[in-house]
C-alpha cells in the first residue's frame, strides 16, 4: 500500500496493521515487525535563514534521538551512524543495532529533504526477510514531489 505524508511517500505491505499514535505512523506485521515514522515539516513562511536554522535544529534533535536510543544498555551497535545521499537529493543518516542476548534488530534512520525531516524506527525479530524488508522500505521512501 502506498502512503504519503506531506513531504514523503513510501510503500508498506497491505498485510501490515497501520495506525497513528502520538502523531506518528505505526505499522505492525504479524511476524513481529514494527515500523514507526515521525515527520516534521519545515515551514517556508519565514525568512530562508530561519528555515535553515530550523532544519539544522531538527536534524540535530533527530540524530540525538537515534544515538540516545542506541545507547540503551540492552542494545549493541552493529553499524555505527553513517550518512549518504539517496534519490532526489534526500540525505539519510542510519544507525543499526541488535538486542543483546536476543534475536532482534533495531534500526533507525533520519531522512532529510529540502523541507522535512523523517525519523524511521524499525524493530523486528532478526531474520533475513526482515533485514531485506527494512532495506527495501528505506529505498522506497521518496520525496512527495507534488507537495514540494
pLDDT in tens, 18-58: 999 998 999 999 999 999 999 988 876 655 558 888 889 99
Q: Considering its fold, how many domains does the chain have in total? A: 1
Local structure of 137: helix, strand or coil:
helix
For residue 118, give the CATH number of its domain. 3.40.1000.10
Q: Which domain holds residue 87?
A: 2-147
Closest Cα partner for 86 from 141, 30, 18, 8? 141
pLDDT in tens, 107-146: 999 999 888 899 999 999 999 999 999 999 998 888 765 4
**β partners of residue 66:** none
- pTM, rounded to two decimals: 0.88
Find the DSSP H helices in 1-148. 48-70, 128-140
Amino acid at each position: 500500500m502506498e502512503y504519503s505524508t506531506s513531504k514523503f511517500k513510501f510503500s508498506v505491505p497491505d498485510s501490515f496493521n497501520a495506525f497513528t499514535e502520538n502523531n506518528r505512523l505505526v505499522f505492525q506485521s504479524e511476524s513481529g515487525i514494527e515500523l514507526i515514522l515521525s515527520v516534521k515539516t519545515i515551514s517556508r513562511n519565514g525568512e530562508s535563514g530561519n528555515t535553515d536554522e530550523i532544519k539544522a535544529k531538527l536534524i540535530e534533535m533527530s540524530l540525538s534521538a537515534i544515538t540516545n536510543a542506541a545507547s540503551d544498555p540492552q542494545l549493541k551497535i552493529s553499524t555505527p551512524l553513517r550518512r549518504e545521499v539517496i534519490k532526489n537529493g534526500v540525505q539519510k543518516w542510519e544507525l543499526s543495532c541488535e538486542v543483546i542476548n536476543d534475536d532482534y534488530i533495531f534500526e533507525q534512520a533520519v531522512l532529510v529533504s529540502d523541507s522535512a525531516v523523517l525519523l524511521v524506527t524499525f524493530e523486528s525479530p532478526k531474520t533475513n526477510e526482515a533485514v531485506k524488508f527494512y532495506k527495501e522500505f528505506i529505498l522506497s521512501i521518496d520525496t512527495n514531489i507534488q507537495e514540494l
